[in-house]
Amino acid sequence: MLLDLQLVQAGAVVMGPVGKVHDALQLISADAPDLAVLDYRLGNGETSEPVARLLSKRGIPFVLATGVAIGSIPSGFERGVILTKPYLSEDLVGALFRARESRGAKS
């Protein structure tokens, strides 16, 4: 997948993709990531809202990479960095750095 490749090229260790909320919640509970990339709408009709809430609760920074209009994104994602699709690889890397830095600022 293109996103996986972009993340690996940026030096990340990729733990996903995970396409179901239940699986994402289990993964976070079992082996919490340092950082996460979410999409708002998942292919099976779910949204990533529960995942964003858990990440926020645990202080894990995240990027919401989505094609959803910013005004349509519900509360629960305000602790993440929003990156609108389409985006370039360098935009993703920049968003990841901003998300990581925001965690340091809140600690």
Question: Model confidence over 13-72: pLDDT tens digits?
Answer: 888 888 899 999 999 999 999 999 999 998 888 999 999 999 999 999 999 999 988 888
Q: In total, how many domains does the chain have?
A: 1
The DSSP output letter for 104 is H
Provide φ and ψ at 103, rounded to 5°.
Answer: -65, -40
Predicted local distance difference test score (pLDDT) of residue 80: 92
Query: Where residue 8 sits, what CATH number does that domain have?
Result: 3.40.50.2300
pTM to 2 decimal places = 0.85
Query: With bands split at pLDDT 50, 70 and 90, how would you rate the model's confidence at 104?
Result: low
Which strands sit side by side in the sheet containing 62-66, from one edge to the other? Answer: 36-38, 62-66, 81-84
Q: The domain containing residue 40 runs over which residues?
A: 2-106
